[in-house]
Amino acid sequence: MIESHMRRPHFTRKGKIFMKIPLRPTHLLVNLTQLRRNVEAIRARVQPAKVLVMLKANAYGHGVEGVAPYIEPYVDYIGVAVLDEGVRLRELGITKPVLVAGGTLPEHVPYYLAYDLTLTVSHPAVLQAAAAAAESAGKQMKVHLKIDTGMERSGVRWYEAKALLQQSLRCRQLDIEGIYTHFANSETLESHETPKKWGYAYPSEQLARFHEVLSFYEKHSLPRPRLVHAANSGAILNLPESFFDMVRPGILFYGIYPDRGVLRSVQVAPAATWKSQVVYSKITQAGHPVSYGSLWVSDHAVRTVTVPCGYADGYFRRMTNQPKVIVNGKKYQQVGRICMDQFMVNLESDDADLGDEVILLGKAASGEQILPEDLAEWAGTNAYEVMTNISARVPRVFFQEEE
């Protein structure tokens, strides 16, 4: 196993190290081998299209410092959301192409040259700044043009894209390597019977708009950019006609489906297990409320245990009295207000000792399992927020399976 955080050694009075101890019983185990299997499954689905994996938001909470170096040989491209995430990848020694998909201000453009990052452009001012920076440095800069086909978030809108495409042709200092769009509702399966509603961005409509933009190149007898891409996780599962030259798996890469009802045309499995241990075990008497606000009380004596994890770790306070956890292979109910650093679990008449295993997310040897979707349901959110909110103070421990 490789731990992502350096562990402080335990010292004797003479200052000599005699053992290293983990500083927290709560940690996130990340199975790197499973991540590779997920990539292989995605590649088999989309070939011959290239695969760009999204490592934004600390690799969707999995820990970019362990995920990126391991997965780099198995992917063609890497995607991030913001500039400093791209810089971080270069600092980690990543050499594969890195696309920064988020918006960029003109004054930040020179950093793309300095760190050899691929710039997303959806505004004429940014394209102009990129051309000027590349000319000043005497270097080419890789650029992907972003087309908004119905997301209304970022990107030049499809019906206004022609001017930006024409401008890009005049920027000889730029390598217009790619052009792409993003689906707003790719998790939704469409059919001829799907009722149409006003104001809803259907994947088929977005795809048609993207093709309309791409026709610019054919109409002017021009080669289109080398990397045309559109498919996110939902589209990889549902929309094979959107694969083009490259796909961009995000949450699917981590083994999590973007929606419970999505077509499971790629078999993936979660790579992360969130574990802790019992740090206190006691009998709570009838009528004695548990935790802040006295939101839970039993009418009979029960054994409750304390788990050293709380909302500062990303175990949402709003889940109070809803989640289940796995203690020694069996599911039990969380009870009482979830605290910043701890929460309690009701074992009823079962027993547990100091140090016994607690699984907050993942699968136990017994077969019991808690999925990201379960935590999402209890928190009233989605699996994306669950994973990306596991805080930095939870150590990431990376391992590979023997095969």
Q: Residues with catalytic annotation? A: 56, 292
Rounded distance between C-alpha atoms, residue 388 and residue 318, angstroms: 16
> With contact defined as beta carbons under 8 Å apart, do 113 and 141 qualify?
yes
Closest CA to 278 of 306, 253, 302, 297: 306
The position carrying tokens 């959107």 is: 242
